[in-house]
Amino acid sequence: MLITLEKRPTPSRGWAIATPVLAVILTMIAGGVMFALLGKNPVEAIRTIFWDPLFNPDVASYSRPQLLVKAAPLILIATGLSLGFRAGIWNIGAEGQYIMGAICGAAAGLALYPLEARWIVFPLMILAGALGGLLWAMIPAILRTRFRTNEILVSLLLVYVAQALMASMALGALRNPEGGGFPGSRNLSQWPAAANGELVANTGLHWGVIAAILAVIAAEFLLRRHILGFDIRLTGLAPRAARFAGVNPDRLILLCMGISGALAGLAGLFEVAGPAGQISIDFASGYGFTAIIVAFLGRLSPVGILLAGLLMALTYIGGELAQFMLSLPSAAIQAFQGMLLFFLLAVDVLSNYRIRLATKGAA
């Protein structure tokens, strides 16, 4: 007997929904093995990560609101990335655009310090944040359209540049003049005109969450009803056909990179003005990279990304909890998230191919 793969004419719809679930289950099993190797009770570890943050009465009151706080940047960034990924445009430097959004947004706000007019300061910061991410993403986009430079490498290398810029801002231009020489900017979350605080107490709902939901709705509309969404899907499925149909590939690159950059920038701004509070050397937390996993786990569809973002946020919170309660190392959860993407990519073969058993020689 021989196992062969037979390409499906179109990807299976049933498997497309089932594979992410299957991947999560496989990751839990493999993760359990990893936790057991680390000398932890695997069942307890998995329960601490996936169950306790939501349903354990001792911690849920703290960790439930955190779910939205962590999910918002992931969903915002992943929604933007998914548009490009669908069209074969690989912006993998969202982390850099996220940092630049935070820097530009915070700088715009701090320039007006200590103005009290929130209706001027906060919208201006949002605008500057989106613009910062957008412009940072335009670097690989324009280099790609103008010189055919590989956008994967340029966008990724720019992450390291953005991280260095972040350090220089925290130590130099944006340092809190009243901070006693410590690195880091003024705390934006303690300045009412600029703070991105909780809108409803104890829910974790802040403006970033609202932006994420709006982004998901807009992306869903774009893909279903708008010509740009059609162009994106067509380019992803058949690049040559798209060109013959009149899709301008350069325009698509600029749009997809621009949208994903602006959304990543927004995520950075909402983070720096709210949960993080200030520009600091260790501001970057890897949301831009985790969002890549979220985008794939959500099958590059906006609603899927919404669910995947919540699940990934849960692993962050559960990971912190497991670190605290089981002294599970924080790096374990990062490896766990990476594993999830592996399993997802592996089981995806089921939606694109049929598994056939063939007797040897018959082929």
Partner 1 sequence: MLGGINLATLIASLMVAAVPILMAATGELVAEKAGVLNLGVEGMMIIGAVCGLVAAVHSGSPALGFLAAAAAGAALSLVFALLTQVFLANQVATGLALTLFGLGLSSLIGQGYVGVKPPPTGRLEIPGLSDMPVLGPILFHHDVWVYLSIAMVAVVAAVLRRTRAGLILRAVGENHDAAHALGYKVTRVRLLAILFGGAMAGLGGAYVSLVRVPQWTDGITAGAGWIALAIVVFASWKPWRVLIGAYLFGGISVLQLNLQAAGARIPVEYLAMSPYVVTILVLVLISAERGGRGGNAPAALGRNFHAAR
Q: By CB under 8 A, name the binding residues for partner 1.
A: 4-5, 7, 38, 90, 92, 143, 147-150, 152-154, 156-158, 160-161, 164-165, 167-168, 171-172, 289-290, 292-293, 296, 329, 331-339, 341-342, 345-346, 348-349, 352-353, 363
For 109, 192, 233, the CA distances from 119, given in Å and listed in that order, are 12, 11, 38
In whole angstroms, give the CA distance from residue 101 to residue 113. Answer: 18
Minimum distance, C-beta of residue 169 to partner 1, in the bound complex (Å) = 9
Minimum distance, C-beta of residue 295 to partner 1, in the bound complex (Å) = 9
**Coil/strand/helix, residue 201:** coil
For 20, 101, 228, 268, the CA distances from 278, given in Å and listed in that order, are 36, 13, 37, 11
Neighbours of 128 (CB within 10 A): 21
In whole angstroms, give the CA distance from residue 24 to residue 359. Answer: 33
Kindly tell me which of 196 and 337 has the beta carbon lying closer to partner 1: 337
Kindly tell me which of 196 and 351 has the beta carbon lying closer to partner 1: 351
Kindly tell me which of 208 and 309 has the beta carbon lying closer to partner 1: 309
The per-residue DSSP string of 259-301 comes to: HHHHHHHHHHHHHHHTTS-S--TT---SHHHHHHHHHHHTTT-
Minimum distance, C-beta of residue 92 to partner 1, in the bound complex (Å) = 6
Q: Which residue has the tokens 């982390």?
A: 95
Task: Judge whether 313 and 49 are in contact, CB under 8 Å.
Answer: no
Kindly tell me which of 97 and 337 has the beta carbon lying closer to partner 1: 337
In whole angstroms, give the CA distance from residue 248 to residue 242. Answer: 8
Minimum distance, C-beta of residue 320 to partner 1, in the bound complex (Å) = 15
**Coil/strand/helix, residue 165:** helix
Kindly tell me which of 152 and 217 has the beta carbon lying closer to partner 1: 152
Residue 32: exposure state from Cβ atoms within 10 A (0-12, 13-18, ≥19):
middle
Kindly tell me which of 63 and 351 has the beta carbon lying closer to partner 1: 351
Kindly tell me which of 51 and 160 has the beta carbon lying closer to partner 1: 160
Kindly tell me which of 208 and 318 has the beta carbon lying closer to partner 1: 318
Minimum distance, C-beta of residue 329 to partner 1, in the bound complex (Å) = 5
Residue 269: exposure state from Cβ atoms within 10 A (0-12, 13-18, ≥19):
buried
Q: At what angle do helices 118-147 and 249-273 cross, to 10 degrees?
A: 150
Nearest to 258 by CA among 96, 103, 100, 80: 80
- CB neighbour list of residue 83: distance below 8 Å, 6 or more residues apart: 219, 222, 223, 232, 256, 259, 260
Kindly tell me which of 195 and 294 has the beta carbon lying closer to partner 1: 294
In whole angstroms, give the CA distance from residue 278 to residue 58. Answer: 30
Minimum distance, C-beta of residue 343 to partner 1, in the bound complex (Å) = 10
Minimum distance, C-beta of residue 187 to partner 1, in the bound complex (Å) = 22
Minimum distance, C-beta of residue 96 to partner 1, in the bound complex (Å) = 10
Minimum distance, C-beta of residue 324 to partner 1, in the bound complex (Å) = 16
Kindly tell me which of 158 and 267 has the beta carbon lying closer to partner 1: 158
Minimum distance, C-beta of residue 93 to partner 1, in the bound complex (Å) = 10
